[in-house]
A and B are shown apart, each in its own frame.
Chain A
Amino acid sequence: MTSEKNGHKFIINNLEVFYGDFRALKGINMVIKANAITSIIGPSGCGKSTFLRAFNRMNDLVPNTSTKGQIEKDALDIQMLDVAELRKSVGMIFQRPNPFPKSIFDNVAYGPRAHGIKAINQLEEIVECSLRQAVLWDEVKDTLHKSALALSGGQQQRLCIARALAVNPDVLLMDEPASALDPIASLKIEELIQELKQTLTVIIVTHNMQQAARASDYTAFFNMDDDRAGYLVEYDITAKVFTNPEKRLTEDYISGRFG
């Protein structure tokens, strides 16, 4: 189900996430636009990763977490969806590249195989297509059966993107995907994200203000209260947030006065 341009991919209603008794996020209300790049910025510990992990219910894996409120994806409550289906359509890229200790081919084919695709020619097709989309194909096409762990960090991260694309998601969540990489590899990832926007909704957490300003359509600024609960301060078109923010706090943060 691909949303039409300018459609709403996610609608977030009063989201709260708890780790045990600790409230990490409170009262989040947001609409995430389809086929756009939304970046999440904010000081360390304000709940950006927690927020991101709410979209594919990865928080469910952490013992004692609970979620209040609601996230709707394409007008369906994600709590009502089958979690495997949800995660298939909402891919995730982690801060540190985490390829499996398998061959490049097996890494990309992992998701399709997990969802029951067995025919080798079909898998080959998916692998090539995904690696091309992740702009990695030319670098690895002759070494598909070599271990993924032998790749450089930047290549590994692009491999992880290819791996996520192989199950044909319509959303990609990225948690500081370039922070462990050198500037050139980081730039490549950034270009790649621009490409992906054609077909995907991208939500990206970043610490890099320039990156957010340069590469995203919308920016959400999170901060935390005295009780350390994260909340949404400001959310708007990126150009607006960076040039003419509503709130004083936002201005202070993007100009580097705190955080």
Chain B
Amino acid sequence: MTSTETGSIISLAKTNKNYKLNKITQYFGYALVWACGFAAIAAVFWILGYVLSQGFQVINYEFLFTRPAGGVSGEGGISTTVVSTVYLVVLTLVIATPLGVGAAVYLVEYAGDAVKESKLVAFLVQAARMGVEILAGVPSIVFGLFGFSLFVLYLKFGFSLLSASLSGAALILPTIIRTSEEALLTVPRSYREGSLSLGATRWHTIYSVVLPTAMPGIVTGIVLSVGRIIAETAIFWVTLGGSFYLPQSIRHSGRSLALHVYMLASETRAFDKAMGTAAILILTIIVLNLTINLVSRRLTKHISGKV
């Protein structure tokens, strides 16, 4: 060891020039990477700062707690759009979470056995896996058009919270299925064997050991999906409608925050209000991200038992 080290030092001394050159390249590389990182971060903060500072000029009590007045002037606040957004998120999750987590549980825990039983099931499972992959990459407006033709027109749900959350659920299902599937796959086999070896049933094992262990990953997927629902515009433009009244039931139209920003910016002169709404939107997403971090760290800690 030492002799090779000495050897390499001697050869370094011999190629002193090379060494210096290397060092310069190294510094140059560092500087470049630093600059790139700095530029990217600066850009993000500049956008954030710009939107927030512009936005906060119109944000006040009245803006938050009155509904949009409608019309091209863009008067009024955002109260009903905040409530609509909450409704939309909750309803979408209520539809998508059980379906998505259930599908993931099936794919990870049961599909393996079913596949052995019959060729048809094997084919269907394969098709489902591929479907999930493909759907995850489909632009949201395609889900919007699908929702528009199926829920709004064919099933006559009209522009409504119901149509919008069904379409939204279709949009986030691939994400929920994939993140849940990955979370379930990271649960060690030894937990499943430990549980089964005690005479617990398959379902009990999944319910009491596998799902709780996978929970941080599953929650992360769900919260990511919440972000997606808050941020999407096009899909809700063609399914939720855009009513600025408070939705009275799931059959009523509504307007999410992102949709409101879009409508203010494209149909009214109230660009300042659009900025104000955008600022609220950004704040919501920041808070959401911090919550994901906190919750999943807490959950992970809780589960790995380092509390």
Once the chains bind, are B199 and A58 in contact (CB under 8 Å)?
no
Q: Taking the complex as formed, is B71 at the interface, i.e. its CB lies under 8 A from any CB of chain A? A: no
| B-to-A contact residues, CB < 8 Å | 112-113, 116, 188, 190-191, 193-201, 204, 208-209, 212-213, 303-307
Residue of B nearest to A82 (CB): B199
Using known A-B contacts A147-B305, A149-B304, determine if residue A58 contacts B197 with beta carbons closer than 8 Å.
yes
A101 cross-chain contacts in B, Cβ below 8 A: 191, 212-213, 303-305
Task: Kindly state the separation between the CA atoms of A7 and B244 in the bound complex, as whole angstroms.
Answer: 81
Q: What does the 1/0 interface line of A53-89 toward B look like (CB < 8 Å)? A: 0001010010110000000000000000000111111
Q: Taking the complex as formed, is A91 at the interface, i.e. its CB lies under 8 A from any CB of chain B? A: yes
One of B112, B197, B201, B306 near A150 (C-beta < 8 A): B306
Once the chains bind, are B199 and A167 in contact (CB under 8 Å)?
yes
Using known A-B contacts A94-B190, A96-B190, A114-B208, determine if residue A87 contacts B304 with beta carbons closer than 8 Å.
no
Once the chains bind, are A160 and B194 in contact (CB under 8 Å)?
yes
Once the chains bind, are A56 and B198 in contact (CB under 8 Å)?
no
Q: Taking the complex as formed, is A118 at the interface, i.e. its CB lies under 8 A from any CB of chain B? A: no
Q: Taking the complex as formed, is A203 at the interface, i.e. its CB lies under 8 A from any CB of chain B? A: no
Which residues in chain A, 80-118, are within 8 Å of chain B measured between CB atoms?
Answer: 84-89, 91-92, 94, 96, 98-103, 110-111, 113-115
Residue of A nearest to B300 (CB): A101
Q: Taking the complex as formed, is A24 at the interface, i.e. its CB lies under 8 A from any CB of chain B? A: no
B305 cross-chain contacts in A, Cβ below 8 A: 101-103, 146-150
Once the chains bind, are A84 and B200 in contact (CB under 8 Å)?
yes
Once the chains bind, are B199 and A114 in contact (CB under 8 Å)?
yes
Using known A-B contacts A101-B304, A150-B306, determine if residue A87 contacts B197 with beta carbons closer than 8 Å.
yes
Q: How many A-B residue pairs have CB under 8 A?
A: 85
Which residues in chain A, 135-179, are within 8 Å of chain B measured between CB atoms?
Answer: 146-150, 160, 163-164, 167
Closest CB pairs A-B (n = 3): A147-B305, A88-B199, A114-B200
Using known A-B contacts A101-B304, A146-B305, A147-B307, determine if residue A115 contacts B194 with beta carbons closer than 8 Å.
no
Once the chains bind, are A87 and B307 in contact (CB under 8 Å)?
no
Using known A-B contacts A98-B191, A146-B305, A147-B307, determine if residue A110 contacts B196 with beta carbons closer than 8 Å.
no
Residue of A nearest to B199 (CB): A88
| A-to-B contact residues, CB < 8 Å | 56, 58, 61, 63-64, 84-89, 91-92, 94, 96, 98-103, 110-111, 113-115, 146-150, 160, 163-164, 167
7 A–B pairs (Cβ distance < 8 Å), ordered by A: A87-B197, A100-B194, A100-B195, A110-B195, A114-B198, A149-B304, A167-B199
B113 cross-chain contacts in A, Cβ below 8 A: 63
Once the chains bind, are A92 and B197 in contact (CB under 8 Å)?
yes
Task: Kindly state the separation between the CA atoms of A91 and B197 in the bound complex, as whole angstroms.
Answer: 6
Task: Kindly state the separation between the CA atoms of A99 and B208 in the bound complex, as whole angstroms.
Answer: 13
One of A64, A99, A115, A150 near B199 (C-beta < 8 A): A115
Task: Kindly state the separation between the CA atoms of A41 and B204 in the bound complex, as whole angstroms.
Answer: 34
Once the chains bind, are A110 and B199 in contact (CB under 8 Å)?
no
One of B209, B306, B307 near A100 (C-beta < 8 A): B209
One of A99, A146, A148, A164 near B198 (C-beta < 8 A): A164
